[in-house]
Structure formats: C-alpha cells, structure tokens
Amino acid sequence: MLDPALYARQLTWADAQRFAGQQVLAVAPVPAGAVDVKLDVSTVVESSATPGTHQFSIRFEGPAETFLAQGTYQLRHPELGDFAVFMTPIARLPSGFAYEACFSHVV
C-alpha cells in the first residue's frame, strides 16, 4: 500500500519535462516487500486538450525480467522526489516492456 501523502503530490507538466531522457525507479510490491525497477523515460508528450485542461503522457521502458501490471506505483526521481503514478503496460519490446502514464489537469 502506498503512502497516502504520495497521492496528494501532483506531477505537473514542468516536472514531466524534467523526466525526459532520464531514469526513474518504480517501487514494485513483491511478496517479500518491494523491489526497485529501473525505468527509462522514453517520451514526454503534451496532448491537445479541451479548454480548461492540460493533458500529457509519459512513456517508460523497463526491463524484461520485471513486468509491472497496470496499477499505481510509487515513482522515485533523484531530484523531484516520489510520486504516485498510475501506469499501463502498452507494449512488449525486444529489451523489455513499455508503459504509459497519462495525466489530465484542470487549469
């Protein structure tokens, strides 16, 4: 179970842009506790939105030996800290798995 304080922390577009080309850690629950899974941020893309909203997505690439099912994970960035992020697996890659997190904020 994630710390409830992580849900109160909103990942902004400015934060997401700082992730581009970097690596984050996803804290994945396992029967013995949790393991850190290294994810490479492959793209950060802003989407067209309806007036009053700001939408963007972040795509990650992770290792073949650890599959992250759709769900909310604690993401850890060395400078930005920890966030609760809902991610969905979107592709099987030769090197592992691709995941996507989508965001929509009222502005």
Domains within the chain, CATH numbers bracketed: 4-106 (2.40.10)
SS3 107: coil
The conformation of residue 21, written as its DSSP 8-state character, comes to T
- Give 66-98 pLDDT, tens digit per residue: 999 999 999 998 888 898 999 999 999 999 999
pLDDT for 52 equals 82
pLDDT for 1 equals 65
Q: Report yes or no on whether pTM surpasses 0.95.
A: no
Q: Give CA separation, 64 vs 17, 47, 96, in Å.
A: 26, 29, 4
